[in-house]
Structure 1
Amino acid sequence: MSSSENSEGQSTLKEELNKKIKEQKVVLDELSNLKKSRKVYIQQRNSNIFFLADRSQTLSSCKKELDDMKRALQDM
């Protein structure tokens, strides 16, 4: 693999990660602005099944996921 192919691949990965970071920020914003009485559901991985979840736990796990994505982007 040439260096230009490698840099193209890396820039594609960065774009993809930036897109996921933006999506995660929207999720965080939506969760943060929900009323306390609203229910939150999370989707089971690789499935169409949703389970009732704790809003504060979901919010903290989404924040952690966003931090991990930002860290991964910086390491590129």
Structure 2
Amino acid sequence: MSSKSQDNDDNFEGQSALKEELNKKIKEQKVLLDELSNLKKSRRVYIQQRNSNIFFLADRSQTLGSCKQELDSMKKDLQDM
């Protein structure tokens, strides 16, 4: 097998792995959206501070909106691959 053919195979496998990882994240995001959508209005929602173990009280509707935007972004990235 030529070196160029090997590079194409490696690139295809790498892109396939990226797609699988993105699909997994999309599924996780969908579950998160369902969970947030089904919460009672009186329930509290906390978001985690990036790169730490600190959580802050957040507005449920704002959190739901940002999760929807993130899901849309992930779907767009998957289509662009």
TM-score bracket for this pair, using the shorter chain length: over 0.9
In structure 1, the partner of 2:35 is 30
Is 1:17 aligned to residue 17 of structure 2?
A: no
Q: TM-score, normalised by structure 2?
A: 0.92
Which has the larger Rg?
2
In structure 1, the partner of 2:3 is none
CA distance in 2, matches of 1:46, 1:75: 28
In structure 1, the partner of 2:48 is 43
SS at the partner of 1:51? strand
Q: CA RMSD in A?
A: 0.8
Q: Which runs of 5+ in 1 are unaligned?
A: none
- CA drift at 1:44: 0.2
Q: Which runs of 5+ in 2 are unaligned?
A: 1-5
- CA drift at 1:47: 0.5
How many residue pairs end up in the alignment?
A: 76
